[in-house]
Structure 1
Amino acid sequence: MALENWRSMFRECLGGRCGQYCEEVVPLLAAVDQGIKPSLLWDVCTADTSGLLALLNQARSKGLLMSKLVLVELGLDVFIANVAAVTRTLVGISTAAPTWLIDISGSVPKLASSENHQEFRTHLASIVAQLNAATDDNVTGSGVASTSPAQNGDADDSNSSSSQAPESSWEIKALEIKLPEDLNLSTIFGCMLGYPNIYWWQGESGGNSLSGMPLKVFKLTADCSVDGSSVELFSFSVPEALEGELRPGIEHWGNVTNVRIEQAASFSNARFRCDSVLCLSVAL
């Protein structure tokens, strides 16, 4: 019944062309709402802000979405974000050891410098401040500070509803995040999506050094009771040459995410897989 409600709302708010993506998007929206994913990048079809807001607020009024969500505009892209989960994730990244940023500016990938990490900590702090100012919610003081400094997040505040009182009257709104114009937004996107390791580059390389490079691709899937499907919740890669150095942190991230899945209402049976790939062309 819930999925039928979603189909009806997709058609009404986004039009028939976007309705075909309902089955793909709804389980991911549930993962955001339940704090498994911090946010969802809307990239399945063209939809204006008013249509997305209408969809989300209708879903909230019907009890299909429960957490405090916000529509975040970053450049030309839009994220549907769980305020508490994004705050938790970005604070976790900011307090983690400087091993989460991978420099792919040159022909040989390497961990980015401490200075590069510090620069992005400043930008992440700005995003958190803008989120909290716009939502008038002191999320960072209610469970987020317990994030482990060893890696991007811990499991004790896995669901946004555990760190704040229910907001039955909360209206989902749009927020435009202001960042420097020359900032590498692809790196910010990786942070917003909650990946444990994120690519960064400088100059005009555009991340092209990954093309033709052996990569390790990690995928985390789980079963979703909303539609009975197996859902790919996360997919990210790291250069194979750095896998040994990065694997302990990735495994910790996987364990924390697995706990969040176990605690979520609509997800179960998490699976974490790693494959070796060689991509002739990589788009970031």
Structure 2
Amino acid sequence: MSLETWRVLFRECLGSRGAQYCDEVAPLLVAVDQGVKPSLLWDVCTADTSALLALLNQARVKGLLISKLVLVELDLDVFIVNVAATTRTLMSIIGASPTWLIDISGQNPKVANSENHDQFRTHLNSIISQLGAATDDVMSDPTGMSSSGEATATQNGMECLPQNSGASSSVKSGVIKAAQVKLPEDLNLSTIFGCMLGYPHIYWWEGESGGNSLSGMPLKVFKFSANCSIDGSPVELFSFSIPEALEDDLRPGIEHWGNVINVRIEQAGSFCNAKFQCDSVLCLSVAL
């Protein structure tokens, strides 16, 4: 697996602006492909759907990506999703004890109540259903297009978008396409993003607080990294925080999560030397 091959693809599909992020993003794409990370939020540069699809499908043609991936548009953001790994992650969250939501609506953060957890379980079940519908549609229509060239509509609220014409058609049922996940407009998407990214604890707030209660609050930041065989350098795979005041209550779950990720690293073919660290920080301003 050559980093230079990735660099060529980034230049061809995303241009010079996108190519500068190749060394940062390519190992994360490999982590998603190998199920170490369930998904990747594309936030490094502006790239339209067709360009990202071209990048992913050309990487698939060259054997750099092999898993069942979907480009998911969620509101104005885009995720590159490993369908199996994301489904597994969301099902794990749904089945976990109700401690994974951290309510930061008030001055003092706390574990959210059972009602809040139940609400998000409903939304996570919807996402799982929609991802399954997208996967079924790939199998029935490998190009992601109807005979008229229009985007193929699927069930359960997920709308499939047309495949970029420049992407290879030789991948057959393994073709990567784009789809939109439909969720209520008033839903706190930052919380959904945390679930999609596979964090063990995710911030939630109600009203217009926007998580501002975290500003100036002591936080514990957990980071999980590993060396990637693309160039042998360490890659930060996960980074999330919790209020320091809740550390004693949440640490057992975080340690269990770290052990699970470590097993996935051991099972992956392109990562080694996993490292899990925790640092105390005090942020004067926190944006979620």
- Judge same fold: TM > 0.5, yes or no: yes
2 CA distance for matches of 1:136 and 1:229? Answer: 37
Deviations, residues 99-128 of structure 1 (Å, cap 9, x unaligned): 000000000000000000000000000000
Deviations, residues 262-282 of structure 1 (Å, cap 9, x unaligned): 110000010100011000000
SS of structure 2 residue aligned to 1:64? coil
Alignment of 1:100-179 (within 5 A): 100-136=100-136, 169-179=173-183
Counterpart in the other structure of 1:241: 245
CA contact (8 A) 1:224 1:267 kept: yes
1 CA distance for matches of 2:241 and 2:82? Answer: 24
Task: Report the RMSD for the aligned CA atoms in angstroms.
Answer: 1.1
Letter in 2 for 1:170: G
Task: Report the Cα offset of residue 168 of structure 1.
Answer: 7.0
Q: State the number of aligned residues.
A: 255
Counterpart in the other structure of 1:80: 80
Counterpart in the other structure of 2:153: none
2 CA distance for matches of 1:46 and 1:2? Answer: 25
Instruction: State the TM-score, normalized to the length of structure 1.
Output: 0.88
2 CA distance for matches of 1:182 and 1:169? Answer: 35
Counterpart in the other structure of 1:52: 52
SS of structure 1 residue aligned to 2:117? helix
SS of structure 1 residue aligned to 2:174? coil
Letter in 1 for 2:126: S
The answer on 1:11 being equivalent to 2:11 is yes
CA contact (8 A) 1:223 1:267 kept: yes
CA contact (8 A) 1:201 1:207 kept: yes
2 CA distance for matches of 1:231 and 1:220? Answer: 9
Task: Report the Cα offset of residue 37 of structure 1.
Answer: 0.2
Alignment of 1:196-215 (within 5 A): 196-215=200-219
Instruction: State the TM-score, normalized to the length of structure 2.
Output: 0.87
2 CA distance for matches of 1:196 and 1:276? Answer: 18
1 CA distance for matches of 2:99 and 2:192? Answer: 16
SS of structure 2 residue aligned to 1:136? helix
Return structure 1 stretches of 4+ with deviation > 2 angstroms.
Answer: none
Instruction: Give aligned-pair identity as a percent.
Output: 79
CA contact (8 A) 1:27 1:227 kept: no
2 CA distance for matches of 1:215 and 1:91? Answer: 28
CA contact (8 A) 1:222 1:269 kept: yes
2 CA distance for matches of 1:23 and 1:228? Answer: 12
Q: Which ranges in structure 1 are unaligned for 5 or more consecutive residues?
A: 138-166
Letter in 1 for 2:215: S
Q: Which ranges in structure 2 are unaligned for 5 or more consecutive residues?
A: 138-170
Task: Report the Cα offset of residue 193 of structure 1.
Answer: 0.2
Range that drifts further, 197-206 or 9-18:
9-18
Letter in 1 for 2:25: V
2 CA distance for matches of 1:42 and 1:222? Answer: 20
Letter in 1 for 2:135: T
Task: Report the Cα offset of residue 134 of structure 1.
Answer: 1.1
* Rg comparison, structure with higher value: 2
Task: Report the Cα offset of residue 227 of structure 1.
Answer: 1.5
CA contact (8 A) 1:27 1:224 kept: yes
